[in-house]
Amino acid sequence: MGATTEQAAQQMLSVLEKTVSQNQADQKQAMDYIAAACQQDFPVFVQCLSMILRTQQCQSFVRQAAGLQLKNVLCAKETETRTGYLQRWLQLTAEVREQVKQNVTGTLGTEPSRPSIAAQCVAAIACAELPQNLWPNVISLLKNNVTEAASNEMLKESSLETLGYICQDIDPRVLEGKANDVLTAIIHGMRPEEGSANVRFAATNALLNSLEFTRTNFDNEAERNIIMQVVCESTNSSDQRVKVASLQCLVRIMSLYYEHMLPYMGNALFQITLGAMKSTEAEVAMQGMEFWSTVAEAEFDMYCLYEEDLERGVPNAANSSLKFMEQAAPHVCPVLLEAMAHHDDGDDDDDWTPAKAAGVCLMLASQCVRDDIVNYVIPFFKHFQNPDWKYKEAAIMAFGSILDGPDPKKLMPMAQEALPAIVAAMCDKNVNVRDTAAWALSRVIDTCSELANNAELLQSVLPVLSNGLHQEPRVAVNVCWALVSLVKACYESAVCSGTDGSGQPDTFALSSVFDPMVNELIKITDRADGNQSNLRITAYEALMELIKHSPKDCYSAVRNTTVVILKKLESLLQMEAQAASEADKAQVRDLQAMLCATLQSVTRKMQPNDIPAVGEHIMHGLLQIMNRATATRSNAVMEEALLAVACLAEHLGKGFINYMPVLKPYLLESLSNTDETQVCAAAVGLVTDLSRALEVDIMPFMDELIQKLIFCLQAPKLDRNVKVVIIGTFADIAMAIETQFERYLNTVVPILNDAQNAAVVTDPNDDDQTDYVDKLREACLNSYTGIIQGFKAAPDVAATRQMVKIFVEPIVALILRVSSMEPVPPSESLLATTAGIIGDLVNLYENEIVRFFTADNVTQMLQRGRKSKVSKTKSMATWATKEIKKFSTNGAAGFNFNR
């Protein structure tokens, strides 16, 4: 390091001392200097910081400050910033980078404080360089630091911390070739012979972070045995940190390498985790429960996959579950039930406790074990009558937790027997019991919906629910959901009894009390403590569900609710203007968003003859809300308002045209708001709904809308799934404006062409990618279909053929790509869309085009479609096949794309 750099380091040293100054002006001046130094000469800046970090003569806090500043210019959470930092580091000369690396690795083991800041710096550089095939010896250097006899405790600990950070942050594929060195260091640090608990803890944490890229080692039985032995031994550590981290490793191992666990379950894992669940140390107990939750989830997923394979007729379908949960349940469940009864009255709702972990584990176990869970839990139901509230509450919680597992028919007798005790518990003096009873009641009605038809039950339940709405907010929230469950169950029962063409029943079992229920919920939204436990929002959500599931004879309540909601919207606008604090304003905006959502529910239930008169008031209110949301940048409110407008447009149809001039500014601005995915997506959806509602009348606004949609497609930050929706929106626009879409062909067709060319699967094992490509292809084909259907409105078939001809070539190319079934076959939905457009093209061009669709791939795809169990896919494939056969003749003329 030259004299100039040393002078800069001396200056930086004095500046770093001021970063912890009590004088805010000094502190700000120091931070400004650091930011400027970073910008002016980054190579010197990082050299200075690394030198100060390594210099043991410097004060500890100054070394820490230097390390922190160095780490902060090497890595960041935001992807864009992180990419910029990476490029900046890699652009340094090899000499500068080497100097910094020597300093930070030389600092390992010399810091007096924990955790090591040097470890974070080394890891940040390693994560930047290893993917570029730079610094290839860093892992072996860290391994040697751990395994060499001369290494001190701090050097081993900080080196293991470094390995843990690297494993946590780097793409696992980068380290696959270095897994042996990583594991050698970690296993060495975890050995019982290692005298330092701090080293063992750092090693165990590093193992936890490394497990994803050690599959090769786990596939090797000898290596797997060593790893499992060391981890299992570490669970006996007297140091709780090591014990908890070791149990976390077992949880992750079970999740990643379930198929290898049979030899270890009976000999070690069962006893270790059962013992952990019984521990009085909360963190240890919760990891034992997490282990069995992981087992239950894995085995339930395997069972679901097996059932799906059976349904699809997969040959030799088999359940790959090793049935660990089924065998362990008789031993695990009693421990879980006892743990559920051990919690304190003062436990915070947000705190994760053994009692809560036990409840979740029991719920997952019931899904996995199914009917048999009843046998293990029934003895605990004696505590329904226990004077100790903890056991009473645990018994009710256990009952509610197992309902997803057994066959509802098996549950019914038990539910009928338990309900009186649960209803009675709604009046218990302890709030925990009442809260859980309301939750369990909702769960019972959800699972055994036939109970809602029981007049005696309704007679006993309705009064306690009404009373429960006025209890503590946490209780009232669960009562809201119990009401929703009850209304849904009664509505579905009425639907089963018969409806007219609207699909809406004339009446249901709650018609006589429906209006009071709605009024009670509206009152709850005005409670002074409504912001606690999310009660006010929950009451609105419950109100929406009640409106949605209302029969015809409750229509007056729906109509009245509309008036109430509009008045509330008006008052909320005034409240927001008067709100003093940001917290109060945020609360008002949440309510505005919820009221807009409630308006959607009531609009959907409004009768056609009421819509025009009420629609004007609704639109007036929504425009006020959008105006306010625009001024305050309230994105959640704007999203819900746009969705409410879409709902109104759907019901008003062409009558909505009067509102377009005043709506247009808000719609265009929302389409431009590509930084807010949900707002932009709602605006795109509104364009679709307006196209369907207004049809050709939307044409005067279409130039600007198309322009904004293209702007969205070009926006780099907009979520790609929204872009897929936009591609599909062109279908609705084309069908709305029919032949006038020709005006936009030269703009839209190249976009569709670019989109379908980008719709390529590069990794068949990447589910997100294959799903995205499938949806993008379907969106492109849907748009082509919409354009063709729109042009078919022209009476002149020859003119239609001529207009469509300019984009037939990309359509055929996409159809042939889909029909290749490689590298993954199309989804049912994409297959149906593809078959549909094949039929459209053959119907339009007849024998001119049919030869493209007699290819083997297309024939096989359509054959698969005709055998589909999905009715739309089957009917589309059958129709397309008939169209092809109709025009398949030996003398067919060839289609000329250039003609």
Q: Could you please report the per-residue DSSP string of 285-339?
A: HHHHHHHHHHHHHHHHHHHHHHHHHHHHT-TT-------HHHHHHHHHHHHHHHH
Average pLDDT, rounded, for the chain: 90
Q: How far apart are CA 561 and CA 316, in angstroms?
A: 56
pLDDT digits (tens, 9 = 90+) for 677-704: 999 999 999 999 999 999 999 999 999 9
- CA–CA dist 606, 608 (Å, integer): 6
CA 481 centroid distance within chain:
23
Write phi, then psi, for 499 (nearest 5 degrees).
Answer: -140, 170
> Comparing 57-61, 371-375, 664-668, 875-879, which segment has the lowest mean pLDDT?
57-61
Q: Are 564 and 517 in contact (CB under 8 A)?
A: no
Residue type for position 565: I
Tell me: pLDDT of 360 over 90: yes
DSSP 895: P
- pLDDT tens for residues 68-98? 999 998 888 888 888 898 999 999 999 999 9
Instruction: Examine the pLDDT at 212 and tell me if it is beyond 90.
Output: no
CB 389 within 8 A of CB 432: yes
Q: How far is the C-alpha of 465 from the C-alpha of 441, rounded, in Å?
A: 10
How long a stretch of residues is the chain? 899
pLDDT of 23: 83
Instruction: Categorise residue 314: left if φ over 0, alpha if ψ from -120 to 50, beta otherwise.
Output: beta
Peptide bond into 764 cis (omega under 30): no
From 196-205, 787-796, 874-883, the region with the lowest mean pLDDT: 787-796
Residue 434 has pLDDT above 70, yes or no: yes
- Residue 824: pLDDT band (50, 70, 90) is confident
Give the list of residues 6+ apart from residue 626 with CB closer than 8 angstroms, or none. Answer: 638, 641, 642, 666
Place of tokens 């605006």: 683
Residue 3: pLDDT over 60: no
Does residue 395 have a pLDDT over 70?
yes
How buried is 379 (Cβ within 10 angstroms: 0-12 exposed, 13-18 middle, 19+ buried)? Answer: exposed
CA–CA dist 174, 56 (Å, integer): 34
Placement of tokens 């550590």 in the chain: 237
What pLDDT score was predicted for residue 895?
58
Cα–Cα distance for residue pair 114/821, rounded to 1 Å: 56
Q: Residues 697-745: pLDDT tens digits?
A: 999 999 999 999 999 999 988 999 999 999 999 999 999 999 999 999 9
Cα torsion at 612, 617, 621, 624 (round to 10°)?
90
> Does 892 score more than 50 pLDDT?
no
Cα 406 from Cα 367, distance rounded (Å):
7
Average pLDDT over residues 223-237: 94
Residue 868 scores a pLDDT above 50: yes
- Stretch among 4-18, 92-106, 115-129, 805-819 having the lowest mean pLDDT: 4-18
* pLDDT digits 0-9 by tens, 612-635: 888 888 899 899 999 988 988 889
User: pLDDT for 289-339, tens place per residue?
Assistant: 999 999 999 999 999 999 888 877 778 888 899 999 999 999 999 999 999
Locate all alpha helices (DSSP H) within 579-652, ordered by sequence. Answer: 582-605, 611-632, 635-652
Are 16 and 30 contacting, i.e. CB atoms less than 8 angstroms apart? yes
**Burial of 251: CB neighbours in 10 Å, binned 0-12, 13-18, 19+:** buried
Q: CA-CA distance, 657 to 597, in Å (whole number)?
A: 22
Can you spell out the DSSP letters for 452-471? GG-HHHHHHHHHHHHHHTTS
pTM: 0.80
Tens of pLDDT, residue by residue over 482-509, are: 999 999 999 999 998 877 777 889 999 9
- Report whether 19 contacts 31 (CB < 8 A): yes
Alpha-carbon span 263 to 274, nearest angstrom: 17
Q: Where are the domains of the chain?
A: 1-135, 407-550, 567-718, 744-898
User: What type of residue is 630?
Assistant: T
How many CB atoms neighbour CB 94 within 10 A? 8
For the chain, the straight-line distance linking the first and the last C-alpha, in angstroms and rounded, comes to 72
Name the CA dihedral angle for 750, 755, 758, 763, rounded to a multiple of 10 degrees.
-160
Handedness of CA 532, 537, 541, 543 (dihedral sign): positive
Q: What is the pLDDT of residue 345?
A: 63
Q: Is 868 helix (H, G, I), strand (E, B) or coil?
A: coil
For the domain covering 407-550, report its CATH number: 1.25.10
CA distance linking residue 655 with residue 616, whole number of Å: 11
pLDDT tens, residue by residue, 790-814: 988 877 888 888 888 888 999 999 9
> CA-CA distance, 85 to 73, in Å (whole number)?
7
Place of tokens 């100790």: 388
Confidence of residue 347 (pLDDT cuts 50, 70, 90): low
- pLDDT surpassing 50 at residue 596: yes
Using CA atoms, how far apart are residues 542 and 251, in angstroms rounded to an integer?
Answer: 38
> Mind giving me the DSSP string for 125-178?
HHHHHGGGT--TTHHHHHHHHHH-TT--HHHHHHHHHHHHHHHHHS-HHHHGGG
Take residue 810 and report the two structure tokens written for it: 């990309």
C-alpha to C-alpha distance for 686 and 681, rounded to whole angstroms: 9
pLDDT digits (tens, 9 = 90+) for 406-422: 998 888 889 888 999 99
pLDDT at position 362 over 90: yes
- How far is it, in rounded angstroms, from Cα 32 to Cα 292? 52
pLDDT at 891: 45
Query: Which residues are CB-neighbours of 800 under 8 A, at least 6 positions away?
Result: 791, 792, 794, 844
Token code pair at residue 497: 């009894």
Residue found under tokens 């080497």:
98
Burial class of residue 687, CB neighbours in 10 A (0-12, 13-18, 19+): buried
Considering only CA atoms, which of 229, 145, 154 is closest in space to residue 190? 229
Residue 1 has pLDDT above 60, yes or no: no
For residue 644, give every residue at least 6 positions away whose Cβ sits within 8 Å of its Cβ, in sequence order, or none.
596, 597, 599, 600, 603, 618, 622
Give the per-residue SS3 of 234-251: HCCCCCHHHHHHHHHHHH
